[in-house]
Structure 1
Amino acid sequence: LYPEQFAAAPQATVLILVVLMPLIEEVLFRGLLFGGLRRYSRPMAFAVSTLGYALFCAVPFVFQPEGADLRYLLLAVQYLPMSLALAWCYDHGGSIWSAVALHMAVNGASLFLAVG
């Protein structure tokens, strides 16, 4: 999907994928969710934020115009390593900005590989 989006609107694709999505997703999943749960239980914060982000990334594939296909939830597995790395980066980086920077780098590399 990235090549089609990039061909149609390259600047908007880069802005959304490499800047806005990492900012919003990191604030929600690492800042609010992980940060809120970490004060009670670090393992629970890792588990909930990692799984929550992975499911968040997979759910849009489940619901298509043809109907829902729950088998697409298996796509969440591919997002687990990155989600765990982002949570670790936030936890050990001292601020949300380390996770945002990593997320931007990963999304930028993914876009470059998809269209390059």
Structure 2
Amino acid sequence: MNDLPVSPPPAVEALSTPVPSAPAADRSPLLNFFLDALIALVILLVVSIAAGMAWGVIRGFQLVLEARSRGVEIDPAQVAHQLGQPGAMAQLLMALVSTGAAALVVYFWRRRATAAERRESWAALRHPGTWGLAALVAVGVFCFSTATGMLADRLDIKPVPTNLSLMSDLLSQWPLSAVLFAVVLAPAYEELLFRRVLFGRLLAAGRPVLGIVLSSLAFALLHEIPGLSGNGVLAICQLWLVYGTMGAAFAWLYWRTGSLWAAILAHGLNNAIAMAALYWFGLQ
């Protein structure tokens, strides 16, 4: 799945796999890219709303049972008033279910890997160079985001990522769950959706650069949606730059190694470094 020179060095040659041609039925890869993204967005929104409603029902029953245990009658209006907002763990579970549902449905429905692709991916993962590139990309992405944050701070641009408060609460209350979500589950689902499905469709059609640009834009938009935080225009642009660069780096790694596992490893390692920095130094 790489576009390599004709005679790469031996250490790199072992990583190279041919770029698959676009399926005969996929005569409109760009249209299908946006269709994939739209389907994933609809599933994400529907499942998020359903999960929120489910939390509200469960929380409502808890409030009623707690009131009855104290011998107090409570009416529906009071229940609705006392619901409040989901806690950190509830938000984590809702994000996990909605993101996972979107990634898995679109993957199995729209761009499921063939047996040959799975064999090539595992073969690339067994090569030491794949692990080295994954580590290099992870560290490079973290250094770039840190440097960008420091520069933005000097320019008096102080963005607050939408998920920063949630991750801080999770680290303080549920550290193991936070690590499992950020280092294992979220990278797997996000790479499946953004790199395998979205980027992979245009890569297979022979348009990798366009695939990197569009999938990275989608990745950045999902992580920082305008209006969901108090960030100003410049702060949002700085976050988009960080997330977009991150998405481009992981897409390049997938393209370069031919293994989605390499992108998942790099994504998970980057998140692990960021969480360690947040925990020990309070860095973003």
- Per the normalisation by structure 1, the TM-score is 0.86
Q: Which residue of 2 aligns with 1:106?
A: 270
Is residue 55–residue 73 contact of structure 1 (8 Å, CA) maintained in 2? no
Equivalent of 2:192, from 18, 27, 33?
27
The equivalent residue for 2:215 is: 49
Structure with bigger helix share is 1
Q: Distance in 2 between matches of 1:115 and 1:4?
A: 11
- Residues of 2 paired with 1:91 and 1:70: CA distance? 34
Contact preservation (8 Å) 1:90, 1:99: yes
**SS of residue paired to 1:63:** coil
Q: 1:93 aligns with which of 247, 257, 266?
A: 257
| Alignment: residue pair count | 112
Q: Aligned-pair distance for 1:3?
A: 3.0
The amino acid of 1:56's aligned partner reads L
Between the aligned partners of 1:81 and 1:47, the Cα distance in structure 2 is: 10
Q: Which residue of 2 aligns with 1:7?
A: 172
**1:81 maps onto 2:256 in alignment:** no
Stretch of structure 1 that moved more, 82-91 or 103-112: 82-91
Query: In percent, how many aligned pairs have the same letter?
Result: 29
Q: What is the identity, as a one-letter code, of the residue corresponding to 2:215?
A: S
Tell me the distance in 1 between the aligned counterparts of 2:211 and 2:172.
38
CA distance in 2: counterparts of 1:95 and 1:37, whole angstroms: 16
Structure 2 vs 1, CA of residues 70 and 32 (structure 1 numbering), >3 Å: closer, same or farther?
farther
Q: TM-score, normalised by structure 2?
A: 0.37
RMSD: 1.8
Report the AA paired with residue 22 of structure 1.
P
Task: Determine the C-alpha separation between the residues in 2 that align with 1:62 and 1:113.
Answer: 27
Mapped partners of 2:256, 2:188: distance in 1 = 18
Closer, same or farther in 2 for the Cα pair 1:48/1:14, shift >3 Å? Answer: same
